[in-house]
């Protein structure tokens, strides 16, 4: 099976987005059932939260493994085997006899789900280059960002009529669908003559090459550091919105979804700008926009200021995230075609790792203070600018002046 750049771009983006959406569905779909799961296993809140941590760790660590595997053995077979295993682990979650085993299986489920995230991006890099890469990844990002919006709602719909077990049975069915899509819809985009030698030393060497590449890391860290602010936002806003500003859970859900829409709109803007404006300039404008929004967020949170002002500033910050995400991927991956799987893994893992550092910080002052959140958002915005400026050989001012 062969896919050309002219062949049904939207359809192929939808196909790949279904794999990249596997991560959000794995993490978010069961959230509404956590109290029921806690009662079922007769355990405590800490153990239940560990099930979420386990799946996130699996998603992060799995990308470091799945990326190189796809560089060694091609894209289709690692993806196919992972989807089959995803089905098996999802069903195992539904019938786990103890909370300890459930936690272990959740890690395994996240681990194999990571193949959908990392390999779908590697496939994009195999097929597209330059402004076409930016345009396609913008479309893919826009579609993929729907998953975090609908996955909690899908889980709530299931739990409203059945027990928590059926959420994981539903995920198992999703694994079957993705297995069939892999067989019939995913081409092998990495020819055998372009694959790397399959030994551990080579894999380590590839990662060493990537982390030592200043241009690659300038975009990887610029996006990764800034995206850590999204994890801070997810951790902090339920308390800020509901405890400090008194909004209802329904209003909170609407506001949460609004920022998801902002990310989608940012990705859509990049899709239209690609090929007309230099991608490096778009990236810098995105970083600067996020920094300006973060200053407003900092001032409002330090002064317990306007709720409407905070909503607008967070919308603009999320919009900038939507701009930066696809552009950073395109710029970082452009020269990494020979190790696209490993490069995709680094780009995917950094936000998870850095987000795990920022999430606990927002609660340092308790559930009725937004000050740590404002400081974290401002800090990640500043550090992403500094990291790009220091690592990239072309200065920010020169890029702007030349275009």
Half-sphere exposure for 105 (CA within 13 Å, toward CB): 20
The domain boundary, picked from 147, 167, 195, lies at 195
| Structural domain contains residue 121 | yes
Q: Which residues pair with 277 in a beta bridge?
A: 274
Distance between alpha carbon 48 and the CA centroid of its chain, in Å? Answer: 22
Q: In this structure, are 16 and 107 located in the same domain?
A: yes
Q: In this structure, are 55 and 175 located in the same domain?
A: yes
* Residue 386 pLDDT greater than 90, yes or no: yes
| Spatial contact of 273 and 131, defined as CB atoms under 8 Å apart | no
Q: In this structure, are 266 and 390 located in the same domain?
A: yes
* Confidence grade of residue 394 (pLDDT, cut at 50, 70, 90): low
Residue with tokens 């890469």: 133
| Structural domain contains residue 2 | no
Strand ranges for 45-178 from DSSP E: none
* Residue 401 pLDDT greater than 60, yes or no: no
Average pLDDT of the residues of the chain:
86
* Confidence grade of residue 8 (pLDDT, cut at 50, 70, 90): low
| Structural domain contains residue 3 | no
* Confidence grade of residue 199 (pLDDT, cut at 50, 70, 90): low
* Residue 301 pLDDT greater than 90, yes or no: yes
| Spatial contact of 26 and 60, defined as CB atoms under 8 Å apart | no
The whole-number average pLDDT for the span 138-166 is 82
pLDDT at 254: 80
Q: In this structure, are 35 and 154 located in the same domain?
A: yes
Lowest mean pLDDT among 74-88, 93-107, 201-215: 201-215
Percent of the chain with pLDDT over 70: 94
Q: In this structure, are 270 and 374 located in the same domain?
A: yes
In our burial notation (b when 16+ CB lie closer than 10 A, e otherwise), range 163-195 reads ebbbbbbbbbebbeebbebbeebbbebbeeeee
* Confidence grade of residue 7 (pLDDT, cut at 50, 70, 90): very low
DSSP SS3 for 274: strand
The domain boundary, picked from 161, 195, 229, lies at 195
| Structural domain contains residue 1 | no
Please give the residue that has the higher pLDDT: either 304 or 169. Answer: 169
Lowest mean pLDDT among 32-41, 73-82, 83-92, 138-147: 138-147
Nearest partner of 119 among 206, 207, 188, judged by Cα:
188
CA dihedral 225, 272, 337, 22 (to 10 degrees): 60
Q: In this structure, are 99 and 218 located in the same domain?
A: no
Could you give the CA distance from residue 203 to residue 219 in angstroms, rounded to a whole number? 21
| Spatial contact of 344 and 333, defined as CB atoms under 8 Å apart | yes
| Structural domain contains residue 328 | yes
Q: In this structure, are 176 and 297 located in the same domain?
A: no
Work out how many domains the chain is built from and give that number: 2
The whole-number average pLDDT for the span 76-105 is 97
Please give the residue that has the higher pLDDT: either 364 or 325. Answer: 325
CA distances from 399 to 11, 96, 285, 291, 393 (A): 35, 55, 10, 18, 11
Q: In this structure, are 289 and 374 located in the same domain?
A: yes
Q: In this structure, are 46 and 157 located in the same domain?
A: yes
pLDDT digits (tens, 9 = 90+) for 261-287: 898 899 889 988 887 888 899 999 999
| Structural domain contains residue 160 | yes
| Structural domain contains residue 357 | yes
* Confidence grade of residue 219 (pLDDT, cut at 50, 70, 90): very high
| Spatial contact of 399 and 278, defined as CB atoms under 8 Å apart | yes
The whole-number average pLDDT for the span 103-119 is 95
pLDDT at 115: 96
Residue range(s) defining the domain that contains residue 236: 210-402
The domain boundary, picked from 195, 219, 242, lies at 195
Q: In this structure, are 235 and 373 located in the same domain?
A: yes
| Structural domain contains residue 221 | yes
Q: In this structure, are 179 and 258 located in the same domain?
A: no
DSSP SS3 for 277: strand
* Residue 396 pLDDT greater than 60, yes or no: no
CATH number, residue 34: 1.20.1250.20
CA geometry: angle 334, 263, 149, nearest 5 deg:
120
The whole-number average pLDDT for the span 206-229 is 91
Could you give the CA distance from residue 326 to residue 323 in angstroms, rounded to a whole number? 7
Q: In this structure, are 185 and 236 located in the same domain?
A: no
């Amino acid at each position: 099976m062969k896919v050309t750049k002219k062949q049904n771009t939207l359809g192929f983006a939808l196909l790949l987005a279904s794999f990249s959406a596997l991560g959000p569905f794995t993490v978010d779909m069961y959230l509404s059932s956590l109290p029921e799961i806690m009662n079922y296993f007769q355990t405590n809140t800490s153990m239940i939260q560990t099930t979420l941590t386990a799946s996130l760790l699996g998603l992060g660590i799995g990308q470091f493994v799945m990326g190189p595997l796809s560089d060694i053995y091609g894209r289709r077979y690692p993806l196919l085997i992972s989807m089959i295993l995803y089905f098996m682990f999802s069903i195992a979650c539904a019938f786990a006899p103890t909370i300890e085993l459930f936690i272990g299986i959740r890690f395994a489920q996240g681990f194999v789900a990571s193949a959908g995230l990392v390999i779908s991006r590697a496939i994009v890099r195999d097929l597209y280059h330059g402004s076409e890469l930016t345009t396609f990844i913008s479309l893919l990002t826009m579609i993929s960002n729907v998953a975090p919006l609908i996955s909690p709602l899908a889980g709530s719909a299931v739990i409203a009529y059945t027990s928590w077990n059926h959420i994981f049975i539903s995920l198992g069915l999703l694994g079957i669908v993705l297995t069939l899509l892999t067989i019939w819809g995913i081409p092998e985009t990495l020819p055998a003559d372009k694959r790397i030698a399959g030994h551990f030393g080579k894999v380590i060497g590839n990662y060493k090459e990537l982390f030592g590449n200043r241009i690659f890391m300038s975009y990887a860290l610029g996006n990764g550091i800034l995206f850590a602010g999204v994890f801070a936002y997810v951790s902090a806003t339920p308390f800020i919105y509901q405890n400090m500003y008194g909004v209802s859970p329904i209003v909170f859900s609407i506001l949460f979804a609004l920022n998801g829409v902002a990310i989608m709109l940012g990705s859509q803007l990049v899709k239209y700008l690609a090929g007309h404006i230099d991608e490096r300039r778009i990236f810098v404008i995105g970083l600067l926009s996020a920094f300006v929004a973060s200053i407003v967020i900092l001032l409002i949170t330090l002064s317990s200021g306007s709720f409407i002002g905070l909503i607008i500033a967070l919308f603009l910050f999320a919009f900038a995230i939507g701009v930066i995400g696809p552009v950073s991927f395109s710029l970082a991956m452009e020269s990494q075609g020979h190790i696209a799987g490993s490069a995709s893994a680094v780009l995917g893992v950094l936000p998870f790792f850095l987000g795990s550092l920022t999430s606990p910080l927002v609660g340092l002052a308790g559930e009725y203070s937004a000050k740590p959140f404002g400081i974290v958002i401002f800090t990640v915005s500043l550090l992403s600018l500094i990291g790009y400026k220091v690592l990239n050989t072309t200065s920010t001012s020169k890029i702007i002046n030349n275009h």
